Amino acid sequence: MSENCSHNCSSCSSNCASRKKESLLKDPHKKSSVKKVIGVVSGKGGVGKSLTTSLLASFAQKKGLSVGIMDADITGPSIPKMFGVTEHATGSEEGLDTVLSPSGMQLMSMNLLLDDETSPVIWRGMVISGTVMQFWTDVVWKDVDLLFIDMPPGTGDVPLTVFQSIPIAGIVIVTTPQDLVKMVVEKAVNMARIMNIPVLGLVENMSYLSCPDCGKKIEVFGPSKAKAIAAEYGIPATARMPLDPNISKLADAGRIEDYDGSALAEIFTQIEKAERK
């Protein structure tokens, strides 16, 4: 630090140790109240990230918390379908209002803004990222204890924007048992570390199939790797979700809230412990 330092970093070009880093966090809507934000991520698509988001949110709701889900997968939104929500989001000059699930969970998704839910969203990355930020700055989240953000797969524009601009308390990584997943999980973990975001849990989806006759767990896609990967990367909690036809039936019927998500209890404990940012 220079002896002539005025401590006014905004007008200084020196790169000294005392220079404060400018925060990129964006304020939520002035009428919003969100206590804690949790991201649900995956290194690749098709692993059940939106399903995991829905089950974690439903589990939290059943515990008596006020819960919201921000569907940040703008080009592939599926949250409204899982909860049986078909009405459109409405708003005014004051902001955009969420749509409620059957249990009263607050939802916001691109499919709640489209006239036809099958219409493709053909946008470039910057526009998609901007829309996700509007879900934070322009949507009124009312007295939410836990806001889950269902993010698109990978480590691209949207996860980067969310990690930089929204106060994420931690993330949950979703994967499957194949050998490929270690590399995929490592990418997600490394991004979280670079962005200083705690990894709270690892969900191994499609981990096994329970025999309907004897109840034996059949590991269709190979032996579970969840515990070993979690131990290697210091992830404090894991959950193994089965290949369960009942999950698909409930999701297709818009009744995902009816599913017993107790397998996620260990991860939910870590979410409760996570410190709000």
Residue 152 falls within a domain, yes or no? yes
pLDDT band at residue 264 under the 50/70/90 scheme: very high
Residue 9 falls within a domain, yes or no? no
Residue 247 falls within a domain, yes or no? yes
CATH of the domain at 111: 3.40.50.300
> What does the mean pLDDT of the chain come to?
90
Residue 8 falls within a domain, yes or no? no
Residue 20 falls within a domain, yes or no? no
213 vs 110, higher pLDDT = 110
pLDDT value at residue 215: 85
Calculate mean pLDDT across residues 178-196. Answer: 86
Q: Which of 10-24, 25-39, 121-135 has the lowest mean pLDDT?
A: 10-24
HSE, side-chain direction, 13 A CA sphere, residue 203: 32
Residue 14 falls within a domain, yes or no? no
Calculate mean pLDDT across residues 110-117. Answer: 91
User: pLDDT > 70: what percent of the chain?
Assistant: 92
Question: Residue 215 sits in which domain range?
Answer: 31-273
What total number of domains does the chain contain?
Answer: 1
pLDDT value at residue 5: 59
Q: Is the pLDDT of residue 47 over 50?
A: yes
213 vs 102, higher pLDDT = 102
pLDDT tens-digit map of 200-214: 999 999 999 998 888
Residue 158 falls within a domain, yes or no? yes
Residue 82 falls within a domain, yes or no? yes
Alpha carbons 163 and 196: distance in angstroms, whole number: 9
Strands 91-92 and 67-71, sheet pairing: unpaired
pLDDT value at residue 184: 83
Q: Is the pLDDT of residue 19 over 50?
A: no
Q: Is the pLDDT of residue 1 over 60?
A: no
**Burial environment of residue 195 by CB neighbours within 10 A (0 to 12, 13 to 18, 19 or more):** middle
Alpha carbons 111 and 219: distance in angstroms, whole number: 35
